[in-house]
Amino acid sequence: MPAPATTAPAAAPGLPELATVPWRRRASAGALHGIGRLWTAWTVALTVPFAAVAAFLIYLEPLTAPVAAASIAHAWIIPELYAFRGANVARPKGARHPRSEPVALGLLGDLLAHRERDLQGATGLALERGRLGAWLVGEGGAVLLAPGGRRVHCFCVTATDSELPPSDRIAHLLLALRADEEGFATVANHAFSGAPWRLRRRLGREVRPALDAARAAAREVPEGRA
């Protein structure tokens, strides 16, 4: 692990990539909290009408049960599709590059502490603690567990070089996140927000320990911080 460097004269504040999204307001804990509430309201608005229609149909005429079942299916499928989109950010992306990946993995390992290195090796996701919560950084996105661990935000974001081996793609995102956490959340596209259990169901079994570890780390961050 490199020692802290004397970089002040050459250091530049913020992510340079912010210049590519000048129309976006800089992300913050408060803004993410608001986005989370909007996602919840949107999910309720999509689910409740379908469930209400199903109940009303059964009340009117039990023979409409097949139609009511279709309505219930809509109420279930739509939130599931959103959660599936969220889980996509944690999935491996692109070519595996078997020749260059060991080299990239060595560099990524140097950037991570011992426990995080083991977790990344087992799940493919790098755990990073930040002011906004606990992050899981993957090849094509990042998952943020908000302080308290009761809400998850999924971000779709990637390095712009498609020829990079998988671990280099993670290292790119990890370095950007460490340099400017709020800037990272601003540049990334918000793909999903909701309860962690909704995401967990859609993740592969081998990835779930990473979500559990991030949730535990997020619980150590007091809610309302940042």
Partner 1 sequence: MARLIRMDSTGHSTLAEWTVEDEVAFQRAAEAFRTETGAGYIGMVDEGPGRATHVRELPREADLVLMRRPIAGG
Query: Which CB atom, from 3 or from 45, has the smaller least distance to partner 1?
Result: 3
DSSP string, 108-133: HHHHS-HHHHHHHHHHS-EEEE-SS-
d(CA 90, CA 133): 17
> Alpha carbon of 67 to those of 73, 140, 151, 222: distances in Å?
10, 39, 33, 46
163 binds partner 1 (CB under 8 A): yes
Contact 68, 140 (CB under 8 A): no
Among 133, 140, 147, 194, binds partner 1 (CB under 8 A): 140
Q: How many CB atoms lie within 10 A of CB 78?
A: 15
Strand partners, 192: 154
Among 104, 136, 211, 213, binds partner 1 (CB under 8 A): 104
Among 106, 121, 204, 224, binds partner 1 (CB under 8 A): 106
d(CA 44, CA 37): 11
130 binds partner 1 (CB under 8 A): yes
Among 73, 113, 122, 216, binds partner 1 (CB under 8 A): 113
Q: How many CB atoms lie within 10 A of CB 153?
A: 28
199 binds partner 1 (CB under 8 A): no
Contact 207, 138 (CB under 8 A): no
Q: How many residues bind partner 1 (CB under 8 A)?
A: 61
Shortest CB 183 distance to partner 1, Å = 10
Shortest CB 19 distance to partner 1, Å = 10
* Binding-site ranges for partner 1 (CB under 8 A): 1-7, 9-17, 20-21, 89, 97, 100-107, 111-113, 116, 128-130, 140-141, 155-161, 163-165, 167-168, 171-173, 175-176, 178-180, 184, 187-189
